[in-house]
A and B are shown apart, each in its own frame.
Chain A
Amino acid sequence: MNTWTPPANVNLVDLGFMDSRSKLIDLAAFLDRVQRAGQEGDFRVAALKQAIELLAGDQPERARNILLSFSDPSTEPIPKATTQGAVGAVPPGQG
């Protein structure tokens, strides 16, 4: 596998454009929806808007950088787990 390189003769735009277009419009509609409902102050919406800015980057590291933007930056274990789930963005006061 060390000498293996990804195939270069496939049109990735053909394969992925319509799906990405659809997801982008869904994202726009979601932001419209929460704004109309007066819920755009939610920390998750704020995190989403901050992440969207990273799409304008010019390096092929957008997915990684967006994941980093949603991540808890702290390094020490928390004293006790009070919930079992994750919400997708760092809640206020944590991290």
Chain B
Amino acid sequence: MVSRTTDDYEKLALAGCETICEPAFWAGFDRASAQGFYDYFRQITEYEPKRAARFGIKHYTWLCINPKESEDPELADDVLALIPQFLDKPNVLGIGEIGLNKNSRNELQVLEKHIQIAADFDQLILVHTPHLEDKLKGTRLILDALKNHSKITPDRVIIDHVEEHTIDLVLNQGFWAGITLYPESKCTPHRAIDMLEARSGERIWMNSACDWGISDPLAVPKTMLEMKRRGWSPTAIQRVAYDNPVAFMKQSGKFHLD
């Protein structure tokens, strides 16, 4: 939400949103030093929860250096060293959104170091999968890296931005899958509902992309409306839009609704 105006918090509150979780991600430009990340980690662990609270919304977050900035191994190591001191903050759910962007060797090494931090500190993991033509290859490389670590259990990892060609790779290996709703790329409401219907909505959550591109914080409630138009019962909508993310995030031990 650091890329969004306060108006978006008001819209979310009006739509009935009670809680959000915000992954650590790109700043819209590459940060010049680890100090920039230190300030950013303070922003998402100290300031954003207060901004959300003004609208009655609880704010949770995840920590990492995002894959777009993982090509510089020295910078990545400096940022990775900052993360442990923030893990005890009350709104930190785990490590994320880690993953790959262009599927490079350096990105993969940084991903493996993030996985090690998650294992060392018993953290949940939120994974970003690459965009467009890079998604299938990147998803396979990410799943291999996760499975290669003996301490990582799939039920504590969510692989985000799945589409029709990657969702079953993720679910069939025991991981959670995230469907990101985004106007131009990633997924539309109807495609998301198609994927959910074909898989009974098990171990899947939906999220609204809220980033630097044209994106819609209300994409989840709009998809819930489409579910209703497609004949979904209130109970089924509740399970996918609310109960599933709650079930996953509660594993952190910090996630509370009250």
User: Which residues from chain A sit less than 8 Å from chain B, CB to CB?
Assistant: 1-2, 4-10, 12, 15-16, 63-64, 67-68, 70-75, 77-90, 95
User: Which residues from chain B sit less than 8 Å from chain A, CB to CB?
Assistant: 68, 71, 101-108, 130-137, 140-141, 163-165, 185, 190-191, 194, 197, 200-202, 229-232, 236, 239
Q: Which residue on A lies nearest to B141, using beta carbons?
A: A77
Q: Which residue on B lies nearest to A5, using beta carbons?
A: B200
A74: which B residues are within 8 A, CB to CB? 137
A64 CA to B133 CA, complexed, in Å = 13
Cβ–Cβ contact A71 & B165, under 8 A: yes
Q: Which residue on A lies nearest to B104, using beta carbons?
A: A81
Instruction: Indicate which residue in B101, B104, B185, B230 contacts A79 across the interface (CB closer than 8 Å).
Output: B104
Cβ–Cβ contact B140 & A75, under 8 A: yes
A13 CA to B229 CA, complexed, in Å = 12
Decide yes or no: A83 and B239 within 8 Å by CB, A72-B134, A75-B140 being known contacts. no
Q: Which residue on A lies nearest to B107, using beta carbons?
A: A81
A8: which B residues are within 8 A, CB to CB? 231
Decide yes or no: A80 and B71 within 8 Å by CB, A7-B232, A67-B164 being known contacts. yes
A interface, over-half SS: loop
Cβ–Cβ contact B101 & A71, under 8 A: no
Q: 16 interchain pairs (CB within 8 A)?
A: A1-B239, A2-B200, A63-B164, A68-B165, A70-B132, A71-B135, A72-B133, A77-B104, A77-B105, A77-B141, A80-B71, A81-B102, A81-B106, A84-B101, A85-B131, A88-B132
A70 CA to B185 CA, complexed, in Å = 13
Decide yes or no: A71 and B136 within 8 Å by CB, A7-B232, A84-B68 being known contacts. yes
Inter-chain contact total with CB atoms closer than 8 Å: 98
Cβ–Cβ contact A6 & B132, under 8 A: no
Q: Which residue on A lies nearest to B196, using beta carbons?
A: A6
A90: which B residues are within 8 A, CB to CB? 133
A59 CA to B101 CA, complexed, in Å = 31
A95 CA to B190 CA, complexed, in Å = 30
A92 CA to B130 CA, complexed, in Å = 19
Q: Which residue on A lies nearest to B232, using beta carbons?
A: A7
Cβ–Cβ contact B231 & A89, under 8 A: no
Q: Which residue on A lies nearest to B199, using beta carbons?
A: A1
CB distance from B136 to the nearest CB of A (A): 4
B104: which A residues are within 8 A, CB to CB? 77-81
B132: which A residues are within 8 A, CB to CB? 70, 86-89
A10 CA to B235 CA, complexed, in Å = 18
Instruction: Indicate which residue in A6, A82, A86 contacts B131 across the interface (CB closer than 8 Å).
Output: A86
CB distance from B232 to the nearest CB of A (A): 6
A82: which B residues are within 8 A, CB to CB? 102
A12 CA to B104 CA, complexed, in Å = 42
Cβ–Cβ contact A7 & B230, under 8 A: yes
Decide yes or no: A15 and B133 within 8 Å by CB, A1-B239, A2-B200, A84-B68 being known contacts. no
Q: Which residue on B lies nearest to A90, using beta carbons?
A: B133
Cβ–Cβ contact A1 & B201, under 8 A: yes
A52 CA to B132 CA, complexed, in Å = 17
A79 CA to B105 CA, complexed, in Å = 6
A6 CA to B237 CA, complexed, in Å = 12
